[in-house]
Amino acid sequence: MTVPVPVLIAIGAAFALLLFLLLRRRDGNRDLVAPPPMAAEPRPSFRPPPASIGADLPADVEQEVRLLAAEGRKIEAVKRVREVTGLSLADAVEVVKRL
């Protein structure tokens, strides 16, 4: 069974029209690709650690954190640093890495 060429052309045109209507924006703008809205202020993707990171760590806690990290218990070491200093998770991980 063969399909006549005009029928194939009509099906293709209907499909293209349907696709165009689905991709068109609903607000009436006929641009298929609109630029993304600009943010009010671009945020930096890199946040350097504070200069005094780890400076507020008491000597006994520092020794405990070093021991935990040496034993491979880094998660516990990070938790201990956060308890004592109140640093963020990323900063506490950085302190453990530096020790």
DSSP state letters, 34-55: -PPPPPSSPPPS--PPPTTTTT
Q: Residue 74: inside a domain, yes or no?
A: yes
Q: Residue 3: inside a domain, yes or no?
A: no
Backbone angles phi, psi at 86, to 5 degrees: 80, 20
Cα-to-chain-centroid distance, residue 43: 13
> How confident is the model over 37-83, as pLDDT tens digits?
666 666 666 665 555 565 578 888 889 999 999 999 999 999 998 88
Q: Residue 65: inside a domain, yes or no?
A: yes
d(CA 65, CA 77): 5
Q: Which domain holds residue 79?
A: 59-98
Type of residue at 49 = P
**pLDDT, averaged across the chain:** 79
- pTM recorded for the entire structure: 0.47
Q: What is the DSSP letter of 64?
A: H
> How confident is the model over 24-46, as pLDDT tens digits?
755 555 555 666 666 666 666 66
